Copies of this chain bind each other. A is one copy, B any other.
């Protein structure tokens, strides 16, 4: 069982990253910090005659890396009650990959994976973060990934997540589940 972690945040050592590290400690994982790559927003050419243009950025290389793994962990701070724009731009591009001749089996390959979501927010995230969880469910349903669990933590200032005993308890469960 091989794991890729996709980080959506843009703060080093943020609460979301800290919580994720608790979940994956001791497990072999490939960690991908989306902020370190150039990922262009999708240009919607699904219905254009010419189709999608080839984009010269880092997006495909990340797709190549996640396709190697069985489990994908999407981990994002909750910015304005949803995933970060960085992570959203990454997912938006899946529409292009679904039409990309270089990835004829993209949906099939994705549908053999399982996903988890880890998110930390500062404003009652276990309530106001729920629409985001529902969106991830819709996203995973569409692409065919099985959504195996999520973990929402509460924290604002760096390090505050360590006070969220509820989140720490679930993190420990998740860690055991991933072993």
A residues lining the B interface (CB < 8 Å): 9-11, 14, 35, 41-45, 47, 77, 79-86, 88-92, 94-95, 123, 126-128, 130-135, 137-139, 142, 147, 149-150, 156-158, 165-166, 169-170, 172-173, 176-177
Give CA–CA (A44, B13) in the complex, Å.
Answer: 11
Chain B contacts for A123, CB-based, 8 A: 138, 142
Contact B126 A150 (CB under 8 A): yes
Number of copies: 4
Chain B contacts for A142, CB-based, 8 A: 80, 123
Partner of A43 from the list B11, B43, B89 (CB cut-off 8 Å) is B11
Contact B79 A95 (CB under 8 A): yes
Closest Cβ of chain B: how far from A135's Cβ, in Å?
5
Contact B92 A84 (CB under 8 A): yes
Partner of A134 from the list B77, B90, B127, B158 (CB cut-off 8 Å) is B127
Give CA–CA (A75, B169) in the complex, Å.
Answer: 21
A-B contacts, 22 of them at CB < 8 A, read A10-B42, A41-B84, A41-B85, A41-B86, A44-B79, A47-B157, A47-B158, A80-B88, A80-B94, A80-B95, A80-B135, A81-B135, A85-B92, A86-B89, A88-B89, A126-B149, A126-B150, A130-B133, A131-B131, A165-B173, A169-B170, A170-B170
